[in-house]
């Protein structure tokens, strides 16, 4: 038995198989671990021996225990995905012949300071529903579980017992305060993101100024100000530069479309977003800004007033799953990455709302799931985004505020 920490929704997840509106067996590379690859080499089943030889490609260049081979894709679909969106390997050889990637997805397990943590990726539609469709917010549970319940540990992180000059040693405090801010509904979601940004900016100053001893006081002060209402009205004067916001967001979308045109569900969302905002070769910025403003006021804002918990839950899950802020080389860069995800989702939501004249929970689930599947699993895409942000001088609280505030 091992100590584990999980959001409560993890216990309720069950793959819905062929009933799923998407499939995890298409749209990306399926890596095969070394142990499973060896099992495939020993299969005696006449039909499957031949199929495995033809459609499992050995990784000859940089093999690792987790990436010994990969499934050959046919029109972006795994070669063993049948016409009913079911896995022929599981149907014919049994669940024990699934590679680790397929058997654990959409679960993600991290080992942090000796504690196993498991969450779900919202790139799976059913996982996205469990994560986001909870008006009460995400709750966390700590208990003991069987060790073999965690087949693949994505990251093994130890922050305790390190150098006192290492900003990572305060990881547990960062996470606690970040999630506390994001779940405090006395403030709007935009206010919570701005408060989080101010905190990360101040924490980054502590690190840059070699004043790590001040970090606990900064974190404690933000918790106190959060509870006593200090931040109410503090962001009323933040600049609403929609032109800058749309410029940055359009860069994110263009990068995304160049990166991967293969996801049909995402392309549908992207097409509706561009239609709703009037983005095209002949569109003028002023017209796009006007379309954005109308869709925001008429559809996005009313939806968020009733369903803001959906993005709150997405962000809390993001913080937990990605072990934020240890997912970046610096505190503020980690915060910037989160805001890039949020901004990409937000501009799509506003544009889609303008196109279909409204938003539903199903529409938002489809959007966030398809964005996550298309981009969140891609290291290359978000490295390109961070290069764009840094090269244009956008990685500052001033620009993050513009992306958040409307």
CA 298 to chain centre: 27
Together in a domain, 223 and 250: no
> In this structure, are 348 and 297 located in the same domain?
yes
Helices (H), 160-235: 171-182, 189-208, 215-228
Answer yes or no: do 389 and 252 share one domain: yes
Residues 262 and 398 placed together within one structural domain of the fold: yes
- Residue 396: name the closest of 135, 247, 201, 114 by CA: 201
- Domain extent for 83: 25-104
User: Is there a single domain that holds both residue 350 and residue 322?
Assistant: yes
Asked whether residue 316 is assigned to any structural domain, the reply reads: yes
DSSP string, 294-341: HHIIIIIHHHHHHHTHHHHHHHHHHHHHTTTTTTSSSHHHHHHHHHHH
Task: Give phi and psi for 124, each to the nearest 5.
Answer: -100, 125
Tens digit of pLDDT at every position of the chain (406 positions): 778 899 999 999 988 877 888 877 776 678 888 888 888 888 887 778 888 888 888 888 888 887 888 888 877 778 888 888 788 888 888 888 888 777 788 899 999 998 999 999 999 999 999 999 999 999 999 877 765 556 678 888 998 766 667 899 999 999 999 999 999 999 999 999 999 999 999 999 999 999 999 999 999 999 999 999 889 887 877 767 777 777 777 777 776 666 554 578 888 998 999 899 888 766 677 888 899 999 999 999 999 999 999 999 999 999 999 999 999 999 999 999 999 899 889 999 999 999 999 999 999 999 999 988 887 766 677 788 888 888 888 889 988 988 898 7
Residues 287 and 378 in one domain: yes
> Greatest CA span in the chain, whole angstroms?
71
Are residues 254 and 387 both part of a single domain? yes
Whether 349 is covered by a domain: the verdict is yes
Tokens 């992180």 map to which residue?
Answer: 157
Specify the number of domains making up the chain.
3
Do 379 and 352 share a structural domain?
yes
**Residue 144 maps to a domain:** no
Q: Are residues 251 and 204 in the same domain?
A: no
Ramachandran class of 197: left when φ > 0, alpha when ψ lies in -120 to 50, beta otherwise? alpha
Last residue of a domain, one of 177, 203, 228: 228
Boundary (domain end) residue, out of 57, 87, 104: 104
Shared-domain flag, residues 382 and 294: yes
State which of 52, 86, 104 marks the end of a domain: 104
């Amino acid at each position: 038995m091992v100590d584990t920490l999980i959001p409560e929704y993890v216990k309720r997840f069950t793959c819905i198989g062929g009933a799923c509106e998407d499939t995890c067996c298409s749209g990306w590379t399926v890596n095969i671990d070394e142990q499973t690859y060896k099992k495939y080499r020993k299969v005696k089943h006449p039909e499957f021996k031949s199929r495995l030889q033809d459609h499992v490609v050995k990784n000859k260049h940089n093999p690792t225990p987790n990436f010994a081979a990969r499934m050959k894709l046919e029109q972006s679909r795994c070669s063993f995905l049948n016409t009913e969106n079911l896995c022929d390997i599981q149907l014919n050889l049994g669940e024990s012949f699934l590679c680790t990637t397929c058997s654990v997805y959409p679960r993600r397990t991290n080992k942090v300071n000796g504690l196993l943590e498991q969450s779900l990726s919202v790139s799976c539609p059913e996982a996205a529903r469990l994560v986001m469709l909870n008006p009460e917010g995400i709750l966390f549970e700590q208990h003991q579980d069987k060790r073999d319940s965690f087949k693949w540990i994505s990251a093994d992180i130890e922050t305790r017992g390190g150098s006192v000059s290492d900003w990572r040693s305060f990881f547990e405090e960062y996470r606690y305060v970040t999630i506390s801010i994001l779940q405090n509904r006395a403030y709007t979601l935009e206010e919570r993101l701005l408060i989080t940004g101010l905190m990360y900016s101040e924490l980054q100053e502590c690190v840059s100024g070699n004043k790590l001893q001040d970090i606990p006081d900064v974190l404690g002060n933000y918790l106190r100000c959060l509870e006593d209402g200090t931040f109410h009205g503090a962001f009323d004067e933040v600049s609403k530069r929609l032109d800058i916001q749309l410029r940055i967001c359009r860069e994110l979308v263009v990068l995304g479309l160049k990166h991967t045109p293969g996801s049909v569900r995402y392309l549908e969302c992207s097409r509706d977003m561009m239609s709703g905002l009037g983005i095209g070769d002949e569109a003028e910025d002023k017209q796009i800004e006007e379309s954005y403003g109308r869709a925001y006021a008429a559809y996005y804002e009313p939806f968020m007033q009733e369903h803001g918990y959906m993005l709150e839950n997405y962000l809390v899950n993001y913080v937990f799953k990605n072990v934020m802020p240890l997912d970046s080389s610096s505190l503020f860069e980690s915060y910037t990455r989160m805001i890039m995800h949020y901004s990409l989702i937000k501009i799509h939501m506003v544009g889609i709302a303008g196109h279909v004249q409204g938003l539903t929970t199903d529409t938002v689930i489809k959007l966030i799931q398809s964005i996550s599947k298309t981009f969140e699993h891609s290291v290359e895409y978000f490295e390109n985004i961070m290069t764009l942000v840094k090269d244009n001088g956008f990685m500052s609280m001033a620009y993050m505020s513009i992306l958040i505030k409307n």
